Structure formats: structure tokens, C-alpha cells
Amino acid sequence: MGDFSHYDVRRVMAVLPHRYPMLLVDRVEELVLDERISAVKAVTMNEGFFQGHFPGRPIMPGVMIIEALAQAAGVLAMESFGLAGSGKLVYFMAIDNPKFRNPVEPGCLLHLNVQFTHKKPRVCKFAGQAMVGDQLAAECEFMAMIADPPPSV
């Protein structure tokens, strides 16, 4: 069991291949191997999607909230299976029952809470909730596959 008390963005980038502007996890607040993760995305006006979604009323697109939840799940899976630094990738396979409850605006801290609902070495299922304060912003269930990256072209 590792020490997850200082899990900042540098450590997130050591586990996930995502980089700006697609990296949507800024830090991990809690990680319980084989169970759950609580991570944070600091939503700022500098996000590229706010230029067009929507001018005069910036709201984080729901698909980006789901992607943030999936990235948090990727950290959970990679750490739980001891794959950090292995080059393996976590691929989205399915999204079930997405629900969007409250808008996410610039200046929010988006709390990403994800737990395993089914865990196998290659395919995992998760349940996730994105919160702003005590308000539910979005929730969904999703499935991901752990695999080797595609060969370089």
C-alpha cells in the first residue's frame, strides 16, 4: 500500500497520459486501493471550452465532467493494479445512466468521487459523482478497459 497523502498534479501526470488541455484531475485528496478515490479539478475561466460554451454564461460541458470522473477512475485503477509507470492505458468502454444536476462554472472546485463497482484485471466498472460543494453536479456509471497503448505509427 502506497502513501497517497501528497498526490498532486505531478503525480497524477506520472500515472495518466493526459496533458493540458485534456488533463482534468489536479490532485487526489483520498485514494483507497481497490475501493475508491476522491480527486479535485479546479475549474478556471482559462479552460478552452468556455470560449464557446457559452459566451456570456460559461458552463463546463457535461461530457468534460464525465471525462474528469473517468480520469479519476483511471488513477484509481492504475494504482490499485500497481500499473503506475507501466505504460498501460485505461480506455473508456461505456457510460451508463449519466445525469447532470447542476451547472459547473469557472471558479468552482469540482470534487470527483469514484468507486469500483466491479473489478477485474482487464475490465472495471465504476460509479462516479461530481460535486460542487454539497451540490451534485453530475453522476454516472461507466466501464473501462486496461490495455497496452496502440503501436506507434
Measured at the CA of 89, the angle between CA 95 and CA 67, to 5 degrees, comes to: 35
In a domain, 1, yes or no: no
What CATH number is attached to the domain comprising 50? 3.10.129.10
pLDDT averages per 10-residue partition of the chain, 153 residues: 83 95 97 98 95 94 98 97 93 96 97 97 96 98 94 77
What's the pLDDT score for residue 153? 67
Q: What range does the domain containing 55 cover?
A: 9-147
- Please tell me the total count of domains within the chain: 1
Give the number of residues written for the chain: 153
Helical ranges in 16-150 per DSSP H: 62-80
Catalytic residues: 53
Question: For 24, what's the count of Cα atoms within 13 Å in the CB-facing half-sphere?
Answer: 23
In a domain, 152, yes or no: no
In a domain, 2, yes or no: no
In a domain, 26, yes or no: yes
In a domain, 16, yes or no: yes
Say how far apart CA 79 and CA 104 lie, in whole Å.
28
In a domain, 35, yes or no: yes
DSSP state of 7: B
Q: What is the pTM of this model?
A: 0.95
Say how far apart CA 37 and CA 152 lie, in whole Å.
31
- The pairing of strands 27-32 and 36-42 is antiparallel
In a domain, 121, yes or no: yes
In a domain, 124, yes or no: yes
Question: For 102, what's the count of Cα atoms within 13 Å in the CB-facing half-sphere?
Answer: 13
DSSP state of 72: H
